[in-house]
Amino acid sequence: MQITFHGAAREVTGSCHQIVIKDVQGNMHQYLIDCGMFQGRRYADEPNFEDFHFDPKTIEAVFVTHAHADHTGRLPKLIKAGFTGSIYCVHPTRPLTRIILEDSYHIMKENTEREGEPLLYDEEDVTQVFEQMQTVNYHETVEMTPGISFMFHDAGHILGSAFLSIEAEGKRVVFSGDLGNSDVPILPETEDLSQADVVICESTYGDSLHEDPKDRTTILRDLIEQTVRNQSVLLIPTFSIERTQEVLYEMDQILLHDLKTNLPIFLDSPMAIRATEIYRHYQNYLRFEADILREPDRDFFTFPNLVETLNREESKVINDRPAPKIIIAGSGMMSGGRIMHHLQRYLPDEKTQLLIIGYQATGTLGRRLYEGAKQVRVYGQEVEVKASVKAVGAFSSHADQNKLTKWLTPKEGDVPKKIILVHGEFAVQEVFATHLRYHLRTEVIIPEMFQEIEI
């Protein structure tokens, strides 16, 4: 069995791992785990346009751990290059992936029309993804051929997220996908690892610890109170899938139980609005800290203060509403989307509060603001940053060092003989690798891009 890393190798985005497995008759089979977009750059920049370093026609199937673009964004490109096999995922991942890929194509098409940038793939390729996609349940065995089987397990990262176990060649290999934070208010906890010979593990926050998850409500309530007291604007750039729904749930609970105010809260993200509808539809996959279905509206993401601005005309009205107000808008890394207009308008105001609640990739505007930039460029214009910037790890949808270490220590069986770190910045991975070698006494590898590892 060989694994080759075609993305998320010593960086966070672009997850794409090729695995070659021998069946019981000695025949070789090739599969992909995820096929994601490299982020932090424009769609038209390398390496998204580079040819795959394998022949897509030889890949028999793709297993998608969850819908985020850094795990699904190059699926249409894979099909354009000749892939004809099946794409497997857990049921909610299919509709979430659809809104992400359709939005990505829309953005790329706009860039093509406005700036002449090339398209990464065609609209027909996006449509074909869902012709080839097959949905399965958690814990359902997917037997590809005698001696090779796959199974999805709940990762607690976003709706429908999974880690993947593979039984083949007498071994059990696990790909973590992205593992969720602890005590997420709307998702089940990450399932235990159980047992594995080799684990390919994400390491986004492998060098750090998040705030206590219980603090996230207190932090958000304090920010809302400050916004009302200062008659100011609270900007929350958010990822449309999971972070938006978590924030809405927290706000619903705060306004229901702790804080009475008519402060308007604008959800200014068409993708987030569509994603929230999918969360409502698949509520049987969710878990809530409060018995929210007993509340009068029987809805966990809607409350009187919330205004959803689906089209551009509705979005423009936000500017006419005086402070105080809260604006939740995409994109989460501030690399595009409606948040850009609000940043341009409100960053120069020292009363503005900017709340960062997710990972900010190198090269993004969000990363520069996170690192304390006093001046940034938005839509070609220099914007002075006088707003206060606060980052809260407790809202992250990724596990921190403690959670990752605990997950890698099975309750049954031995520690994995080999742990391979992906989906993390190299400096972070070096810290995490040292930590794991000391605490788990096992082999830890940090692969380079296109490196092949024999299992």
For residue range 178-230, list pLDDT tens digits in order.
999 998 888 999 999 988 999 999 999 999 999 887 788 899 999 999 999 99
Give the residues across from 419 on adjacent strands.
Answer: 199, 444
Sheet holding 198-202, edge to edge: 142-145, 148-154, 162-168, 171-175, 198-202, 418-422, 443-445
228-280 pLDDT, tens digit per residue, is: 999 999 999 998 898 899 999 889 889 888 888 889 999 999 999 999 999 98
Preceding omega of 447 cis (within 30 degrees of 0) = no
- Could you tell me where in the chain the CATH 3.60.15.10 domains are found? 2-208+397-454
- The CA-to-CA distance between both ends of the chain, in Å, stands at 5
Q: If residue 32 lies in a helix (H) or strand (E), which one and from where to where?
A: strand 28-33
Q: Where does residue 261 fall: left (phi above 0), alpha (psi -120 to 50 degrees), or beta otherwise?
A: beta
Q: Residue 339: its pLDDT value, please?
A: 94
Cα–Cα–Cα angle for 125, 360, 11, nearest 5°? Answer: 70
The CATH code of domain 215-395 reads: 3.40.50.10890
293-311 pLDDT, tens digit per residue, is: 555 555 667 788 899 999 9
Q: Residue 44: its pLDDT value, please?
A: 46
Q: If residue 389 lies in a helix (H) or strand (E), which one and from where to where?
A: strand 388-391
* Cβ-contact 276, 149 below 8 angstroms: no
DSSP string across 307-363? EE--SHHHHHHGGGSPSSEEEEES-TTSSSSTHHHHHHHHTT-TT-EEEE-S---TT
**What is the spatial distance between Cα 384 and Cα 389, in angstroms, rounded to a whole number?**
13
**What is the spatial distance between Cα 31 and Cα 4, in angstroms, rounded to a whole number?**
11
Preceding omega of 331 cis (within 30 degrees of 0) = yes
Q: How confident is the model at residue 32 (pLDDT cuts 50, 70, 90)?
A: very high
User: Which residue type, as a one-letter code, is found at position 264?
Assistant: P
**What is the spatial distance between Cα 158 and Cα 398, in angstroms, rounded to a whole number?**
10
The per-residue pLDDT of the chain, averaged, comes to: 92
| CA-closest candidate to residue 187, choices 291, 66, 301, 287 | 287
Is the pTM of the predicted complex or chain greater than 0.85? yes
- Token pair in block for residue 170: 């007498």
Instruction: Identify which has the larger pLDDT, 281 or 114.
Output: 281
- Token pair in block for residue 114: 């406005």
- Token pair in block for residue 237: 């750039």
- Strand extents, DSSP E, 49-132: 61-63, 86-90
pLDDT > 70: percent of the chain: 96
Contacts of 46 (CB under 8 A, 6+ apart): none
- Token pair in block for residue 447: 């692969």
Pairing outcome for strands 375-378 and 381-384:
antiparallel
Highest mean pLDDT among 136-145, 295-304, 334-343: 136-145
Q: Residue 298: its pLDDT value, please?
A: 55
Cα dist from 209 to 13, 157, 206, 396, whole Å: 21, 17, 8, 11
User: Which residue type, as a one-letter code, is found at position 275?
Assistant: A
Res. 449: pLDDT tops 80: yes
413-444 pLDDT, tens digit per residue, is: 899 999 999 999 999 999 999 999 999 999 99
**What is the spatial distance between Cα 401 and Cα 193, in angstroms, rounded to a whole number?**
16
Q: Residue 8: its pLDDT value, please?
A: 97
- Could you tell me where in the chain the CATH 3.40.50.10890 domains are found? 215-395
Q: Across residues 57-73, what is the average pLDDT?
A: 97
Question: Any idea which of 2-16, 171-185, 299-313, 349-363 has the lowest mean pLDDT?
Answer: 299-313
* Cβ-contact 405, 206 below 8 angstroms: no
**What is the spatial distance between Cα 88 and Cα 149, in angstroms, rounded to a whole number?**
12
* Cβ-contact 86, 63 below 8 angstroms: no
Contacts of 355 (CB under 8 A, 6+ apart): 220, 223, 234, 235, 236, 390, 391, 392
pLDDT > 90: percent of the chain: 75
Q: Residue 292: its pLDDT value, please?
A: 56
* Cβ-contact 238, 272 below 8 angstroms: yes
**What is the spatial distance between Cα 413 and Cα 198, in angstroms, rounded to a whole number?**
13
The CATH code of domain 2-208+397-454 reads: 3.60.15.10
| CA-closest candidate to residue 3, choices 446, 450, 443, 419 | 450
Q: Across residues 39-48, what is the average pLDDT?
A: 68
Contacts of 285 (CB under 8 A, 6+ apart): 92, 159, 160, 188
